Chains A and B, each alone.
Chain A
Amino acid sequence: MIHWFKGFFAWLRTAAGVSVSAAVLLAAFAAIDRGPYVLVNTVVMGGMLGLVAMGLAIILGVLNIPSFVHGEFFMIGGLAAYYVITPIKDYLFENPSPFLAVVGPVLAIGAATLAGALAGALAELLVFRELRRRNRDNWVMNCFLLTVGLNVILINGHQLLFGADFKGIVSYWEGRPIELFDVAVSMDRLLAFLISVSIVVGFWLFMKYTRTGRAIRAVAQDETGATMVGIPLGWIMTLTMALGCGLAAVAGGSLLFMYPSYPTVGMEATYMAWFVVILVGLGRVLGALVGGFMVALLKIVTLEYVGSGWDFVVPSALIILVLIFKPSGIFGSEVRGVLDQ
């Protein structure tokens, strides 16, 4: 028991401990001062941001790609969900069916995930695999430039094919909001939260206990070692890219009621995910989840106390401080490849 307390107090003094306790205190203060809805918003937004950032972190850790096209997979997710849910909603308007009303959103979010994962796998096969085959010098820089290029292509592709207007929905579920701690939480938010929790748990179990999940971790730790034990690098890289992009897309699909799909909707997701990844340290996949909640809290508290328009400035300022004083992030960086370059 005493041993446990000692360990806990030692942890409190580390960068991770200080930041996590500061976040908890800030959340408690805001919740008491402004009301529990601050917490509800933080948890919903944090869970989703956590998913997007975990995707970015795993792509960084396994493929060594600093992706600035990550948010565009969030955009693709929203777009796919929109084109699945809209006809279902139209149909439901004419023919009410409680079954379809429940299954529809699930289908839409499933389609979003699949579309994002497929687009990610395609990007890996068509772009990054080709680069890997030809030239591994300056890998990180070249990949960074490639992702910026892909970002432009996808944003303009969206505009060209689907137009620049907002493609969104008011809500997935018609049901009345649920009362939680005196806060009315809409079914959509609840669903978003449940999705993020179940995906994080599933993802963790997958990485820890399955043969393929362990192989992904092995590739992140030592590519040569992974080849030596018989792991096919190409397949693991494509799969990881699909998983990482799928994580961004499932968030885009789940949050369609808040963020309608339009060409540049992914920009915010990209920047927010990068804030998280820099905050916790590159390649920290589970840390990214914690960081997701912290950045979401910061954003929401800023909206509450400072005003809208500042919700981008305050996290950016924090990231500049992190980069100056703790460049390896609060949990320390795990990515050797990126730092070695």
Chain B
Amino acid sequence: MLLETANLNAGYGFLHILRDVSLKVDEGEFVCLIGPNGAGKSTTLRTIAGLIRPYDGRVSFRGQPINGLAGHRITQLGVSYISEAMNLFTNMTVHENLMMGAYTIRDKAFLRNQLDFVYSLFPRLEERRNQLSGTMSGGERKMLAIARGLMSNPKMVLVDEPSFGLSPLMTKAVFEALDLLNRERGLTILVVEQNVTLTLAATNRGYVIENGRIVLEGPSPALAADEYVRRVFLGI
């Protein structure tokens, strides 16, 4: 198992959000975590990424416990978190942001490779390479956030709401890029989304979270056909 959380409890101060969240992601899988607004999806990803310390429970990566490690150590181990807010360096150019994304990489030739790779994935970024990231459109910023997250050549990415604020066309492009990364590069992906139809069509497996608890899990096609999911999320 590449990533595993066991009975994870986490939150913000006295605000207990996640209750006994257990999920598993195998190497090469494309897994989604879906649920209504405020269910705790982002909190789950933040806890795995080491930005929040869990109250108890365990997170392990490649069999090693990583809960309690500082966020930068988890990135160094090969788990890249791409947040909903993107957290770009707004006073730096596109190129500088990508260079920061490769902070953990010291091999110059390898760094060049990564740069060529993300530019080929998102050619638009190369056109904008000298623009300050704070002045770009929402879609371009989202691409940059994903590209920056890939610069460190992660084993796994945690992507929070890639479609948020994007046009349907842009959303489709972003999901196609994720799909490509998963199939051709063997990148393991855990994605959080509110766009349930699209996500279930793109992923292999999914978890449904409500009020901080995992309430359902299964292969994505099965979830898409599930009575409960159809009623709650798809309004059918």
Contacts and interface: CB of A to CB of B under 8 A. Distances in A.
A205 B93 CA distance: 17
Interface string A228-241: 11111110000000
Nearest to A234: B70
A132 to B, nearest CB: 12
B75 A225 contact: no
B89 A230 contact: no
Nearest to A232: B72
Interface string B48-64: 01110000000000000
A311 interface: no
Interface residues of A, number: 19
Interface in B92-107: 92, 96, 99-101, 103-104
B92 A228 contact: no
A232 B73 CA distance: 8
A221 B72 contact: no
Interface residues of B, number: 30
A230 B105 CA distance: 10
A215 interface: yes
A228 B99 contact: no
Interface string A209-243: 00100110110011011111111111000000000
A229 B148 contact: yes
Contacts of A224: 51, 83, 85, 87
Contact of A222 (B70, B75, B80, B87): B87
B101 A232 contact: no
Given A217-B92, A334-B91, A229 B100 contact: yes
B197 interface: no
B199 interface: no
Nearest to B50: A227
A234 B85 CA distance: 23
Contacts of B49: 228
B99 A225 contact: no
B75 A221 contact: no
A66 to B, nearest CB: 21
Interface in A218-276: 218, 221-222, 224-234
Interface string B2-27: 00000000000000000000000000
A301 to B, nearest CB: 34
Nearest to B158: A228
B90 interface: yes
B83 A229 contact: no
Interface in B59-79: 70-72, 75-76
B103 A229 contact: yes
6 contacts: A222-B87, A225-B89, A228-B149, A230-B103, A231-B72, A232-B72
- Rank and list the top 4 A-B pairs by shortest CB-CB distance, nearest first: A225-B87, A230-B75, A227-B71, A230-B104
Given A218-B89, A231-B100, 8 more contacts: A221-B92, A222-B87, A224-B51, A224-B87, A227-B50, A228-B81, A229-B151, A231-B103
